[in-house]
Chains A and B, each alone.
Chain A
């Protein structure tokens, strides 16, 4: 009988030790999405808080009127940690031609047609999807083409024609 009581006593001590609940620490954090996009590889560029399009210049070269200008096609490179992808919007800077045309010194405008991902017409201000997933920026993605209107047979004044486009990168 004494032995049973002793054993019960020991069991009760063991129970006291094991009853204590562990507390918990819940740790949480949110990694914000970011992206950098360019017409060249961007894998070496660090992601940061500012979604970035790496400035680019499209030079159609020089041509006499009978020659016209060749279209320039570029591919987007996208580096992003956003699992929901990246979108882009291109629109004229304030004061520039609303359709993305090139303006000369005398105010004449040479129109430019824009194409996204092949022959899909792009209208200034459209938002288009570059990727639908995270991306490392080392491989070329969808294409974007700049195609000046044919100037053959026209009488455009000689000179430099240009425009400035703003690019907005967004993370859905």
Chain B
């Protein structure tokens, strides 16, 4: 009986060996999403880590009574998949988005920030993640506008005001 079982077992192994399919080699890799965003054409910039190309918004010289506003086009170069997005989060832990001057008698200048497609920009708060694009984009044309608008008080002290915003880009 034991001998029969052994023979049966060996047969099973042989049958298994004979029936084995051709072997396979499976190769996989994952291309991670990334994005580079800026105020000018970013199509020539290499994708890698998510990045915002640092830039400057300058209101130049404003007089009391002026209502200056600067509109900056946003360009996004990204490889995210069709259903995924690129978001931008702006923060300012120092001045909370307001423009500040060194003169201690001066009051900071309040700012309003908007983002959206041309003509439909809406206000967003610093710290909010703003969706710039959905799906891949080559960065050669603008996808929307960032609008920065200061509110100059009627007695705003003369001087140079500024702040630095941190911009975090995330390709999901």
Contacts and interface: CB of A to CB of B under 8 A. Distances in A.
Contacts of A79: 155
B155 A81 contact: yes
Interface residues of B, number: 47
Interface of B: 32, 37-38, 49-65, 68, 90, 99, 103, 105-106, 109, 111, 148, 150, 152, 154-169
Interface residues of A, number: 29
Contacts of A110: none
Contact of A29 (B54, B155, B161, B165): B161
A81 B60 contact: no
Interface in A45-59: 46-49
A32 B60 CA distance: 10
Contact of A31 (B38, B50, B56, B62): B62
A30 B159 contact: yes
Contacts, number: 137
A29 B166 contact: no
Contact of B49 (A20, A26, A31, A82): A20
Contact of A30 (B49, B52, B60, B154): B60
Given A23-B52, A29-B62, A83-B157, A134 B105 contact: yes
Given A81-B64, A136-B155, A22 B52 contact: yes
Instruction: Please list the 4 inter-chain residue pairs (A to B) with the smallest Cβ-Cβ separation, ordered nearest first.
Output: A23-B52, A29-B59, A33-B158, A20-B49
B158 A27 contact: no
Contacts of B59: 27-30
Nearest to B154: A46
Interface in A3-33: 16, 19-33
